[in-house]
Amino acid sequence: MTSARTINLSVSDATDSDFVNTGDEGMQTVTLSSGNSVSYEVTIQFDTNGEANGGITVTVEDGTSYIPGSYECGCGGCRRR
């Protein structure tokens, strides 16, 4: 890749929870420069609400000049399957 690409992401947390900051939920973007990897952090909020533990889902969405593949994610990063 010779130029930067904007990658579209969809970020959500578990149903009936609100531990992801509101501004970090929904459609987000990250810029992939002239490499093959990029990091994206999801900021969580600490509040006094009694919530069960739950997951955070980050999905690579369709975009211009790329096609999302299948990835496995967890603490420490994602890898292509």
pLDDT in tens, 4-21: 888 899 998 877 777 788
Q: State the pLDDT at residue 29.
A: 92
Q: pTM of the predicted model, to two decimals? A: 0.69
State the Cα–Cα distance between residues 72 and 27, nearest whole angstrom.
20
Q: What is the pLDDT of residues 20-29, one digit of tens each?
A: 888 888 999 9
Domain hosting 75: range is 5-80
User: In the chain, how many H helices and how many E strands?
Assistant: 0, 5
Name the domain count of the chain: 1
Main-chain phi, psi angles of 22, to 5 degrees: -55, -40
- Residue 70 confidence class, pLDDT cut points 50, 70, 90: low
The C-alpha torsion from 33 through 19 and 76 to 7, rounded to 10°, is -20
